[in-house]
Amino acid sequence: MTDRQGFASTSLPRHLLRGATGFGALIGSFALLPVLGLGSLLLAPIGLIALRGCPACWAIGLVQTISMGRLERSCKDGICELTVARPARSHEHRESQPSDSLTPG
């Protein structure tokens, strides 16, 4: 198994936009059936493409997109654990030191 996030998007707003487009097209394809007839079913493939195949895949991708960078998987001796990712040390180090521009020189 790899660490690749197969269903995740690059950003949360992009993923939510894909979801709104996909679910909107799927719902619209059936809701517009009495008005437009069978032609409204042409929206269904557009919805499935936006959701990358299925609504469940989109939901899995939403969880992966939200957790990206926040969770860390580590495997040792065939046992894998999911833990909260630690912040980068270089970022913590910069916050703890006073800035040179604020010190009188």
| Residues 66-95: tens digit of each pLDDT | 887 777 777 888 888 877 776 655 544 445
| Residues 17-26: tens digit of each pLDDT | 999 999 999 9
Task: Please list, in sequence order, all residues whose beta carbon lies within 8 angstroms of the beta carbon of residue 27, skipping any fewer than 6 positions away.
Answer: 47
DSSP state of 86: P
Q: Can you read off the two tokens belonging to residue 74?
A: 């580590």
- The answer to whether the beta carbons of residues 5 and 68 sit under 8 Å apart is yes
